[in-house]
Amino acid sequence: MIISNPKGTQDFLPPYSEQKHYLETQFRKVVALYGFSEIVTPCFEHTELFLRSTGLTTDIVTKQIYSFTDKGGRDLTLRPEGTPGVVRAFLQNNLKPPLRLFYIGPMFRYEKPQKGRYREFYQLGIEVIGEAHPQTDVEVIEMGLNFFSAVNVKDLVVKVNSVGCALCRNRFRSDLIFYLNTVRDKICEDCKARLERNPLRVFDCKETTCQELYQSAPKIADYLCYDCQNHFQIVLQELTERNLPFELDKMMVRGLDYYTRTTFEYVPSLSTALGAQDSLGGGGRYDNLIEDFGGPKIPAIGFALGLERILIYLGNPTLPRKNLVYLIPLDGESEKQAKQLLRQLRTSEIPAILNLPDKNLRSGLGIADNLSCEYVIIIGSEEMKKQVYTVKQLSTKSQQEVPQDKIIEFFNQTFTKQSTKEF
Ligand code: HAM
């Protein structure tokens, strides 16, 4: 093999490609119940967009963006996340708030690849633009939980925090800097740089020593102004009233610069399948971003879920066989009949494939098995004489004769019964 896929990327092969499709379908179903419409934005944008939103002091922008200059001399970047593109599209197209949008697509970050962390990965995301009330925060968090429960991710806890507003941060900043200076010789080089540029980012550090030191550092959630405190109290109260599985985590600041007030992450409480990359999704409010982009003061909130991480969490899928019929005629006369039946099945929306003339019964059965077909129809001179089809069910290895004029009815009934099957 001369060419292999680039480091940090992956092929989605069956059955994972089908499981991926299944997760996307379930996501579409759940967000539709909450009134969301789809938005599709480009996979690359002007680099400046991410510098001004994701943030100049974040790991994503300082270390992980895939940027390039195109043949026209433009500075472009493969999107590391979906939020900036959605906000750009909202402003550029003069969309009218309130608005509930969702997106599904690949994101790109130049990370050190490991389990659950890739350079190209898919996000299932939502953004609510123009709803300021704390009840929206809870509605959004709840919707994410409902999606996870629909796809059988059961042991989740939502870590919740508030990162306040500019007012809260001003008061907090000086206390944090004071604390960090007292432990300056013990923190890592990255954190020393964070201390200079944006001290709040130290909480993103994955180094154990730093994490331990920051347990005793001042926390932004203890510095909230009256309005932010009030907002957060309502969020916590509403989460409790709705009986949602949440946990207050004052250390969680999230790795993006635009957040204000409520931030949250979906983390498994029991499963260890994901190791260090345990966040299945995260989000929060970004009430200033639209204004920072030169737009009006419009609040917003959203989240994004990591599709690959959900697949890892769910483990190897045991896929049911497909509602797909494989037709094997045994001689020339039966082949004519099989071709007619093939058309009839497809017209009736029953998926079907015909064995090719250069394949015999044995290899036909092998192909049907390989393609995960649930049914094989065998047509030979005996069947032609009796005006029946021999229908073989591969999962049960059972066989029965079905009258030719009842075959569509037969599959319509069996396939409807099976369509409730899930992963
Ligand atoms: P984020 O926390 O950077 O937030 O990413 C959201 C989720 O994407 C993570 O929790 C994780 O499941 C997945 N993810 C991130 N990086 C990788 C990677 N390298 N490989 C695999 N999965 C990954 C955002 O992206 C924000 N835009 C979310 C948001 C929307 N906030 C407000 N609106």
Give pLDDT, residue 422: 57
**What integer is the mean pLDDT of 100-113?**
97
Is residue 372 pLDDT above 80, yes or no?
A: yes
| Closest atom of ligand 1 to CA, residue 280 | 12
Is residue 306 within 8 Å of 121, Cβ to Cβ?
Answer: yes
Q: Give the angle subtended at the CA of 265 by the CAs of 259 and 269, to the nearest 5°.
A: 165
264: CA distance to ligand 1 center in Å?
12
Name the band, by pLDDT with cuts 50, 70 and 90, for residue 33: very high
Per-residue pLDDT tens for 411-420?
999 887 665 4
238: CA distance to ligand 1 center in Å?
25
* Range of lowest pLDDT (96-110, 204-218, 232-246): 204-218
Contacts of 177 (CB under 8 A, 6+ apart): 195, 199
pTM: 0.91
Per-residue pLDDT tens for 387-423?
999 999 999 999 999 999 999 999 999 887 665 455 5
Pocket of ligand 1 (CB under 6 A): 81-83, 109, 111, 116-118, 121, 123, 125, 127, 255-256, 279-284, 302-304, 306, 308-309
| Closest atom of ligand 1 to CA, residue 266 | 10
Per-residue pLDDT tens for 141-169?
999 999 999 999 989 999 999 999 999 99
| Closest atom of ligand 1 to CA, residue 117 | 20
**What integer is the mean pLDDT of 331-360?**
97
Scanning 279-351, the segments in alpha helix (DSSP H) are: 289-292, 307-314, 332-347
Alpha-carbon Rg for the chain, nearest whole angstrom, is 27
Per-residue pLDDT tens for 238-250?
999 999 999 999 9
Q: What's the rounded Cα separation, in Å, for the pair 353 and 358?
A: 15
Percent with pLDDT over 90 in the chain = 84
Q: Which is more confidently placed, 199 or 129?
A: 129
- The answer to whether the peptide bond before residue 113 is cis (omega within 30 degrees of 0) is no
Q: What's the rounded Cα separation, in Å, for the pair 69 and 335?
A: 58
Give pLDDT, residue 246: 98
| Closest atom of ligand 1 to CA, residue 283 | 31
255: CA distance to ligand 1 center in Å?
9
The DSSP code sequence of 205-236 is ---HHHHHHHTTS--GGGG--HHHHHHHHHHH
Give pLDDT, residue 62: 83
> What is the average pLDDT score of the chain?
94
Percent with pLDDT over 70 in the chain = 98
Picking from 229, 230, 243, 69, the residue whose alpha carbon sits closest to that of residue 157 is: 243
**What's 32's DSSP letter?**
H
Give pLDDT, residue 419: 57
**What integer is the mean pLDDT of 216-233?**
97
341: CA distance to ligand 1 center in Å?
49
115: CA distance to ligand 1 center in Å?
15
Is residue 144 within 8 Å of 303, Cβ to Cβ?
Answer: yes
**What integer is the mean pLDDT of 272-281?**
82
Residue nearest to atom 21 of ligand 1 (CA): 117
Give pLDDT, residue 417: 67
Name the band, by pLDDT with cuts 50, 70 and 90, for residue 270: confident
